[in-house]
């Protein structure tokens, strides 16, 4: 499972850098027309990159504290990034504000992943 989390971390990092570059260069005109969407897009990229790095830490944590909670921490982070950042990217691309209602579910998944990691380490340390 540690390899899976490292692979997802690398994919999220690669895609986050690409999304950041696309936002800075490919969406310039879109953000001129819809300026409020730029901050939303940057938030999506930021959370994706931070949690991409976190997946590398979780990949390592799985080897140090092998526990179902550690594995669930990684799974929840992956789900969280896909839902949180994914819904924000879709919101920005489509300018469909109702997609923002989905975003908190991704945030809850990420928070749950962090909580699972805390309990896994605490329980097995």
pLDDT of res. 124: 82
| Secondary element (H or E) of residue 87 | helix 68-94
Has residue 125 got a pLDDT over 70?
no
83-110 pLDDT per residue, tens: 999 999 999 999 998 989 999 999 999 9
Residue 87 backbone phi and psi in degrees, to 5: -65, -35
What average pLDDT score do residues 67-88 get?
97
Instruction: Report CA dihedral (23, 104, 48, 6) to the nearest 10 degrees.
Output: -150
Has residue 1 got a pLDDT over 90?
no
What average pLDDT score do residues 28-54 get?
97
pLDDT of res. 41: 97
| 55-72 b/e (C-beta count within 10 Å ≥ 16 → b) | bbebbebbeebebebbbb
Has residue 114 got a pLDDT over 70?
yes
Domain extents in the chain: 2-124
Tokens of 27: 């969406």
Please give the share of the chain, as a percent, with pLDDT higher than 90: 91
Q: What is the mean pLDDT of the chain?
A: 95
pTM strictly above 0.75: yes
Given a contact cutoff of 8 angstroms between Cβ atoms, the answer to whether 116 and 70 are in contact is yes
6-37 pLDDT per residue, tens: 999 999 999 999 999 999 999 999 999 999 99
């Amino acid at each position: 499972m540690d390899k899976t989390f490292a692979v997802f971390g690398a994919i999220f990092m690669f895609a986050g850098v690409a999304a950041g570059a696309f936002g800075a260069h490919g969406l310039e005109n879109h953000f001129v027309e819809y300026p409020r969407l730029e901050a939303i897009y940057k938030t999506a990229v930021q959370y994706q990159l931070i949690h991409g790095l976190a997946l590398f830490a979780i990949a390592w944590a799985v080897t140090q504290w092998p526990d179902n909670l550690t594995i669930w921490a990684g799974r929840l982070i992956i789900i969280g990034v896909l839902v949180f950042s994914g819904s924000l990217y879709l919101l920005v691309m489509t300018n469909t504000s109702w997609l923002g209602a989905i975003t908190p579910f991704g945030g809850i998944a990420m928070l749950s992943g962090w909580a699972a990691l805390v309990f896994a380490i605490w329980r097995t340390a």
